[in-house]
Structure 1
Amino acid sequence: MGAVVGASGARAQTVADGGRAGPADPTEIIRLWPDGAPGGQGVTVTPVVPERSTDPAFHDRYAQYTTVPILTVFRPERPNGSAMLLIPGGGYRWAVLDKEGYDVARVFAASGTTCFVLRYRLPADGWAAGPDVPLQDAQRAIRLIRSRAADYAVDPHKIAVLGASAGGHLAGLASARTDATYEPVDAADSAALRPDLTVLMYPVATMADPYVHAGSRTHLLGDTPSAERIAAYSLEQMEWRNAAPVFLLHAMDDASVPVENSLQLLTTLKAAAVPTEAHLFQEGGHGFGVRLIQGKPAQVWPDLVRAWAARLDFPL
């Protein structure tokens, strides 16, 4: 079992790996907020991390009711100078840890990228910032990584973000929005808050019918959000000019988050002159990560991302 270490030196327990086969969980953990996450006066939830896998060969855990958001660090053997913040999905109901977090981090750490998996707070748990609560954690994470770049042999101008499903929505918010969603807490908050490269896997992009992932919208915005609120949190309706380059990937047979989420966003990115590459796969469904896509054409997606980033002088 590892330990959480924050700027204040405070420590707290993290998740044990349960003795399953395969690589052990990293023990290097960064607590995002040294004196506690902001706006928690009305929060009464108790964090849980259930295990869904019945196969001893792999984990499939998710974090729900998170009150202490953290980064789990995957240090490569030979750092290539880049960092990646990984934001897994979970419909804003929870955040999966393994499938779109640890599993993907290991793939990119193997080629030299220092990876940080974000365990973020959820918008329906009573935090004062409501739908901006996950974005507070994402912005703070990017600033922490950038401010500590020298500690990880990372170029502070080569901080990527990879988000999957609802985590793709959160990564998109972090990429498009330029406003800080919290008051500064320490010197790290003087660092830039947007990423230098963005990868969106089968992202929940729109909050609008008919292509919205209804569960994500409900958990983010409530049961009856106004048209104005829906527009404000729909990535395809946001201002993307001057955002970092974006890579989109989606399966055409995704029955949970329709491919139109990526297609509509692609149109917006093109109009905003954001350098963008998009790959649509005939099959793959939703939530495939890296393990569930083996043996299908979409299994090459990490190599496609690396090749695209390399053309931008961004080693992944």
Structure 2
Amino acid sequence: MPVTAELRVYWFKRRLFEEKQAYSMKKTVHILAILSLFALSSPSMAQTETINLWPEGKVPNSKQSDIAEKSDTDAQGILRISGVTVPTITAYPAPKDKATGAAVMICPGGGYGILAASHEGSDFAKWFNERGISAFVLKYRLPNEKAMTHQHEVPLMDAMQGMKLIRQNAEKWNIDTDKIGVMGFSAGGHLAATLSTHHNMGAKASAEGKPNFSILIYPVISFLPAISHGGSRDNLLGPEKSEELIRYYSNELQVSEQTPPAFLVHAMDDTGVPVENSIEYYLALKKKKIPAEMHLYPKGGHGYGMRTEGKGSLANWPEAMEGWLYSAGYMKK
């Protein structure tokens, strides 16, 4: 069959089309490969992992209830979680090329009624990752007599278990077991200070539960009436509130030689949690000759996290924390 000029043109155009399609496919595959490599290597896209603190059906002090966990994000982008009855930790491992071996377990605040899980949790996890420090955001159970027995015991149980899990998985996350600290904000600061002072107390005492350092940001420390945050105290202690428990959970009274070093931040105009909470804890550490660094600022109020715009010199506090972490060997320059 003779090949006409029209047929030659048709086959030529078809060949050009197929070659163009093949080139386009190769280019797409190449771009996708580059994007995949970028995703794996980019610190800002590090893989997180959420782990239940306790095996299913074996959560201590737990009882059946109709309480349901709920998450809400407000117009300022602040995430608040309520009704927590299944505690977890979310791991943010530091990028391997930056990792210093240090790690921090972060306890968000919220008066033991909610968890401010973003600006006092995940935002700081990312900040630590950028500086080579692995971070773990603790979603601890919120005390409620409907969902648990002896509710005042529960947040500390969860914090102890979180610290143990981090230590037990240190090799997996490239962590030095002598460089694991705890950080807490407001009521989360009370939990962090309670872990720091109570890890060696009672039947559940454990060396694995001891933090190597603590970072306490506008923390609730005391339950004594003169300087306490009444809401945090009442939410934690619940119907078992007593003079004995008030003193037991007043952490300035529980500092011992086994309490780890601390870095503290507080604003003098904090009307929610009086600055005396940090001052009393600092003085208790000083009395026991435990290293401590405290930064007090004339204004800032409460609950700011890293949102310090318009709060004067308070904007310098993250830089001060950086310096402290570096001097203690938890961060590299």
Q: TM-score range by the shorter chain?
A: 0.7 to 0.9
Unaligned runs of 5+ in 1: 1-22, 184-188
User: Separation in 1 of the partners of 2:273 and 2:79?
Assistant: 21
CA drift of 1:315 comes to 2.1
Contact 1:48 1:64 in 2 (8 A): yes
Structure 1 or 2: more helix by fraction: 2
Q: Does the aligned pair in 1 maintain the 2:133–2:330 contact within 8 Å?
A: no
Q: Which amino acid in 1 is paired with 2:85?
A: T
Instruction: Pick closer, same or farther for the CA change 1:45–1:26 going to 2, 3 Å.
Output: farther
Q: Report the count of equivalent residues.
A: 285
1:284 and 2:300 aligned = yes
- Residue 144 of structure 2 is matched in structure 1 by 124
Q: Which amino acid aligns with 2:49?
A: E
Match among 40, 47, 51 for residue 69 of structure 2: 47
Supply the distance in 1 between the matched residues of 2:206 and 2:287 (Cα, whole angstroms). 31
Pick one of 81, 85, 88 that aligns with 2:105. 85
CA distance in 2, matches of 1:100, 1:25: 19
Q: Does 1:241 align with 2:257?
A: yes
Matches of 2:103 and 2:52, distance apart in 1: 17
Hey, what's the Cα distance between the residues in 1 that align with 2:224 and 2:66?
31
- Is the counterpart of residue 165 in structure 1 residue 186 in structure 2? yes
Q: What residue identity is the alignment partner of 2:121?
A: G
Of stretches 258-267 and 40-49 in structure 1, the one that deviates more from structure 2 is 40-49
| Structure 2 residue 196 is the aligned partner of structure 1 residue 175 | yes
Whether the 8 Å CA contact 1:180–1:193 is kept in 2: the answer is no
* Corresponding position of 1:137: 158
Is residue 2:331 matched to residue 1:310? Answer: no
Q: Which runs of 5+ in 2 are unaligned?
A: 1-43
CA contact (8 A) 1:207 1:234 kept: yes
Letter in 1 for 2:301: G
Where do residues 107-118 of structure 1 align in structure 2 (5 Å cutoff)? 107-118=127-138
Deviation at 1:62, TM superposition (A): 1.4
For 2:37, the equivalent position in structure 1 comes to none
**Aligned-partner SS, 2:199:** coil
Displacement of 1:294:
6.7
When structure 1 is superposed on structure 2, of 94-103 and 288-297 the one drifting more is 288-297
Q: Which has the larger radius of gyration?
A: 2
Whole-Å separation in 1 of the counterparts to 2:245 and 2:212 = 27
Shift in Å at residue 44 of structure 1? Answer: 3.4
- The one-letter code matched in structure 2 to 1:72 is T
Q: What do residues 89-120 of structure 1 show as CA deviations (whole Å, max 9, x unaligned)?
A: 00001111111101111111111111110111
Partner of 1:300: 316
Matched, 1:192 2:208: yes
Question: What is the CA–CA distance in structure 2 between the aligned matches of 1:62 and 1:268, rounded to whole Å?
Answer: 33
Counterpart contact for 1:135–1:181, Cα < 8 Å: no
1:256 is displaced (CA, Å) by 0.4
Aligned twin of 1:33: 54
Structure 2 CA distance for partners of 1:83 and 1:177, relative to 1, 3 Å: same
Given that residues 161 and 199 in structure 1 are in contact (C-alpha distance below 8 angstroms), is that contact kept between their aligned partners in structure 2? yes
The alpha-carbon distance between structure 1 residues 314 and 47, as it changes in their structure 2 partners (threshold 3 A), is same
Tell me the amino acid that sits aligned with residue 67 of structure 1.
T
Q: 1:68 aligns with which of 86, 89, 99?
A: 86
- Counterpart position of 1:17: none
Q: Check the 8 A contact 2:300/2:311 in 1, yes or no.
A: no
CA-CA distance at 1:276 after TM superposition: 0.6
Name the CA shift for 1:293/1:108 in 2 (closer, same or farther; >3 Å).
farther
* Alpha-carbon displacement from aligned partner over 1:203-259 (angstroms, at most 9, x marks no partner): 001101121111001101126822111101101111322221111110011110010
- Amino acid aligned to 1:127: M
8 Å CA contact 2:255–2:285 kept in 1: the answer is no
2:61, 2:203 → 1: CA distance? 9
- The answer to whether residue 242 in structure 2 is matched with residue 220 in structure 1 is no
Q: Deviations over 1:39-91 (max 9, x none)?
A: 2124431111122x225xxx311111112111112223222211110001000
Change beyond 3 A, Cα 1:180–1:150: farther
Q: Secondary structure at the match of 1:240?
A: coil
Q: Is the 8 A contact 2:200 2:206 kept in 1?
A: no
Query: One-letter code of the match for 2:187?
Result: A
